[in-house]
Chains A and B, each alone.
Chain A
Amino acid sequence: MTKKGLALLLVFVLLGTLALTGCGDDTPSINVYNWGDYIDMDVIRQFEKEYGIKVRYDTFATNEDLYVKLKQGGSSYDVIFPSDYMIERMTREDLLVKLDKGNIPNMSKIDEKFLNRDYDPGNEYSVPYMWGTVGIIYNKTMIDKPLTSWADLWNEEYKGQIIMLNSQRDSLAVALKKLGFSMNTRNIDELEAAKEELVRQKPLVDAYLGDDIKGVIVAGDAAIGVVWSGDAVAMIRDNPDLEYVIPSEGTNLWFDAMVIPKNAKNKEGAEKFIDFMTRPDISAKNTEYIGYSTPIPEAKELLTDEIKNSLVAYPTDEMIENTEIFKDPTDIIGEYDRIWTELTSEQ
């Protein structure tokens, strides 16, 4: 009967730990909700040590997952990391609180050009965390002449060599930009025209992929792909034959930023956390781990020369001159869905 005794003991031990984790102790804590694998965990430990605030850390996969969690209620977060268009939507639906900038002095370290963008005028709600562009990556050994524009993705010569993103918003943005329209257009005719472009491109496309695009291009199984700049940096490190270009027609500029939701329980701690994350040495640590681009010039200076001088991670101002930030698509999402379904069912 020792087996049964053991089982009983186990039950009690487990219930004990449950009870312990259930009712938290008295040290102040904050709940942080971030993208998966999007922080150097040492930074969290350092924050806990310096401020005596415990961090309960949790991760999500898409902006929409984050939105559902926030709307669903039941759990409260103190700091979350939505992207640009989601911040716009959350602000409109009154889900966020205004930041007290006096508590976030490090905000002054952020490069002016990343502040006061359309998704949050005056940065009343958000502090940028990472940013980047979307562009074309191609293998120089497989493509003879340099690619420069989205239109190159419609070149018959590259049939079967092109990998597009399996994402309605991003792929439509490529077609819209190629045609010279805004990627935030709400004009149905323009969206239809973009759909026709994508239908025309379809025979040339080898596959529509998500995150696996990286492996396929690095391995040389396809020559051309549409990727995010941060991923491009890592891909080029794995395969130096690759080259990243920001297409001449203009592209998507994106931000992930830190905001505080309305139902936060520890706003003071949340602002301390945001300020800490905006400190140059901390931002540099995170940037080094993630491989994306920091909006803080002093943090950039702390990185290795190879990254610091990389035009992939830190393009010049002219290169990102005609970029656009995604706007909240809620009112037109049905059209996107319809177009994408029609495109994917096209033979």
Chain B
Amino acid sequence: MVEKSIKRIYTFLIFMFLYAPIIVLIIFSFNNSKSRGVWNGFTLKWYIELFKDREILKALYNTLLIAISSSIISTILGTFAAIGIYNMNGIFKKIILNLNYLPVLNPDILTAVSLMALFRFSKLEFGLFTMLLSHITFCVPYVILSILPKLKQMNIYLYEAAMDLGATPFYALRKVIIPQIMPGIITGGLMAFTLSIDDFVISFFNTGHGVSNLSIAIYSMARRGINPVINALSTLMFISMLILLFTINKRNDKDLIEGGR
């Protein structure tokens, strides 16, 4: 009995710790004042202002555009790279694997500054394109790492069996290998998507005139205080994530659940 209630309190505290900040943020998105410390009555004005604020909407658009395109491109690149690495042998495979680990372990700031130096060296104009390139760069290793285990689990004879039965290599890749490693691909893609939305440091150094994503836009509000419009936006994003999670769970697609881990 006591044990049970201790368990419950413990769980409650953990969830409290995880969700209290988000709850506070949601509550203050309805606060009729710019300051975050005081409750000044209920309002929806920040939501109305959000949809009129061209700057923030543009930043949201950039964030989503970059996140979606970089996750799709890096997933495609990463999938083929993973299949390639899986089929390598000996010392060469080890070297490539470790080269792949390196960007994951590297601090973000190092990746950011080195990419910036590279882009400047190659005389690229900083903007959406350089930001997209840098996001693809840091996402690919994560995609590879999430697909490799699935390849290891796969029965290698399946591919050979498909070939024996007359499949061309490409057909076998499409119909046998890809479906087998699909959960890994989806995990990789989702990981790339969230990493890209999260990123501040790399975006900050590799963007140019007129292009900022949400994290840069929010950071630049530091001097004047974060505009409550951001609370409203975060609330909406949180709710969309919640809805997405529910629909995924509801579909009860086995692959998705396995992959979404």
Are A36 and B217 neighbours in the complex by a CB distance under 8 Å? yes
| Candidates A11, A38, A74, A77; contact of B69 at CB < 8 Å | A11
Q: Within 8 Å of chain B (Cβ to Cβ): is A76?
A: yes
Task: List, in ascending order, chain B residues with CB within 8 A of A214's CB.
Answer: 35, 37, 225
User: How far is A45 from B58 in the complex, measured between Cα atoms in Å?
Assistant: 14
Q: Within 8 Å of chain A (Cβ to Cβ): is B221?
A: yes
Residue among B208, B219, B223 with the highest chain A CB neighbour number at 10 A: B223
Task: List, in ascending order, chain A residues with CB within 8 A of B128's CB.
Answer: 18, 21-22
A22-B127, A22-B129, A41-B54 known; A56+B210 contact, CB < 8 A: yes
Are B35 and A61 neighbours in the complex by a CB distance under 8 Å? no
CB proximity of B119 to chain A, nearest CB, Å: 7
A18-B128, A75-B125 known; A211+B209 contact, CB < 8 A: no
Are B36 and A61 neighbours in the complex by a CB distance under 8 Å? no
Q: Within 8 Å of chain A (Cβ to Cβ): is B220?
A: yes
Interface window among A99-107, A149-157, A232-240: A232-240
User: How far is A35 from B222 in the complex, measured between Cα atoms in Å?
Assistant: 9
Q: Within 8 Å of chain B (Cβ to Cβ): is A31?
A: yes
Q: Within 8 Å of chain A (Cβ to Cβ): is B93?
A: no
A31-B209, A74-B126, A75-B127 known; A219+B223 contact, CB < 8 A: no
Are B222 and A15 neighbours in the complex by a CB distance under 8 Å? no
| Candidates B33, B72, B120, B226; contact of A74 at CB < 8 Å | B120
User: How far is A238 from B32 in the complex, measured between Cα atoms in Å?
Assistant: 10
A41-B53, A41-B55, A238-B33 known; A36+B220 contact, CB < 8 A: yes
Are B127 and A218 neighbours in the complex by a CB distance under 8 Å? no
Q: Within 8 Å of chain A (Cβ to Cβ): is B250?
A: no
Q: B129's closest neighbor in chain A, by CB?
A: A22
A11-B72, A11-B73 known; A212+B222 contact, CB < 8 A: no
Q: Within 8 Å of chain A (Cβ to Cβ): is B45?
A: no
Q: Within 8 Å of chain B (Cβ to Cβ): is A59?
A: yes
User: How far is A76 from B205 in the complex, measured between Cα atoms in Å?
Assistant: 14
Q: A256's closest neighbor in chain B, by CB?
A: B223
Q: B68's closest neighbor in chain A, by CB?
A: A14
CB proximity of B218 to chain A, nearest CB, Å: 8
Size class of the contact patch on chain A: 35 or more
Q: Within 8 Å of chain B (Cβ to Cβ): is A335?
A: no
| Candidates B65, B69, B210, B221; contact of A57 at CB < 8 Å | B210
8 Å CB contacts to B: which residues of A142-192?
none
**Total inter-chain residue pairs, C-beta < 8 Å:** 123
Task: List, in ascending order, chain A residues with CB within 8 A of B37's CB.
Answer: 212, 214-216, 218-219, 221
User: How far is A211 from B220 in the complex, measured between Cα atoms in Å?
Assistant: 12
Task: List, in ascending order, chain B residues with CB within 8 A of A345's CB.
Answer: none
Are A74 and B220 neighbours in the complex by a CB distance under 8 Å? no
CB proximity of A305 to chain B, nearest CB, Å: 21
Task: List, in ascending order, chain B residues with CB within 8 A of A219's CB.
Answer: 35, 37-38
* Binary flags per residue of A1-26, CB closer than 8 Å to B gives 1, else 0: 00000010011001101100110000
Are A37 and B221 neighbours in the complex by a CB distance under 8 Å? yes
* Binary flags per residue of B47-88, CB closer than 8 Å to A gives 1, else 0: 000000111000000000100110011000000000000000
* Binary flags per residue of A52-68, CB closer than 8 Å to B gives 1, else 0: 00001111111001000
Q: A31's closest neighbor in chain B, by CB?
A: B209
A36-B224, A239-B38 known; A75+B217 contact, CB < 8 A: no
User: How far is A17 from B65 in the complex, measured between Cα atoms in Å?
Assistant: 9
A11-B69, A41-B55 known; A60+B220 contact, CB < 8 A: yes
User: How far is A76 from B209 in the complex, measured between Cα atoms in Å?
Assistant: 7
Are A7 and B72 neighbours in the complex by a CB distance under 8 Å? yes
User: How far is A271 from B35 in the complex, measured between Cα atoms in Å?
Assistant: 35
Are A211 and B225 neighbours in the complex by a CB distance under 8 Å? yes
Are B227 and A37 neighbours in the complex by a CB distance under 8 Å? yes
Q: Within 8 Å of chain B (Cβ to Cβ): is A210?
A: yes
CB proximity of B199 to chain A, nearest CB, Å: 17
Task: List, in ascending order, chain A residues with CB within 8 A of B55's CB.
Answer: 41, 57, 59
CB proximity of A83 to chain B, nearest CB, Å: 10
Are B222 and A210 neighbours in the complex by a CB distance under 8 Å? yes
A214-B37, A238-B40 known; A61+B209 contact, CB < 8 A: no
Task: List, in ascending order, chain A residues with CB within 8 A of B38's CB.
Answer: 215, 218-219, 238-239
20 new A-B contacts, CB < 8 A, other than A58-B212, A211-B224, A216-B37, are A14-B68, A14-B69, A21-B128, A22-B129, A35-B223, A35-B224, A36-B219, A44-B54, A45-B54, A59-B221, A61-B222, A62-B222, A74-B126, A75-B126, A76-B209, A212-B37, A214-B35, A215-B37, A238-B34, A238-B35
Interface positions of B (Cβ within 8 A of A): 33-38, 40, 53-55, 65, 68-69, 72-73, 116, 119-120, 124-129, 132, 205, 207-212, 216-227
Q: 6 smallest A-B Cβ distances: which pairs?
A: A215-B37, A56-B210, A36-B220, A75-B208, A36-B221, A219-B37
Interface positions of A (Cβ within 8 A of B): 7, 10-11, 14-15, 17-18, 21-22, 31, 33, 35-38, 41, 44-45, 56-62, 65, 72-77, 210-212, 214-216, 218-219, 221, 231, 234-235, 238-239, 290
30 A-B contacts (beta carbon < 8 Å): A10-B72, A11-B72, A17-B65, A18-B128, A35-B224, A37-B220, A37-B224, A37-B225, A38-B224, A56-B209, A58-B209, A59-B55, A59-B212, A60-B220, A61-B219, A61-B220, A62-B223, A65-B220, A73-B120, A74-B125, A75-B125, A75-B126, A75-B127, A77-B209, A210-B222, A215-B36, A216-B37, A218-B35, A218-B37, A218-B38
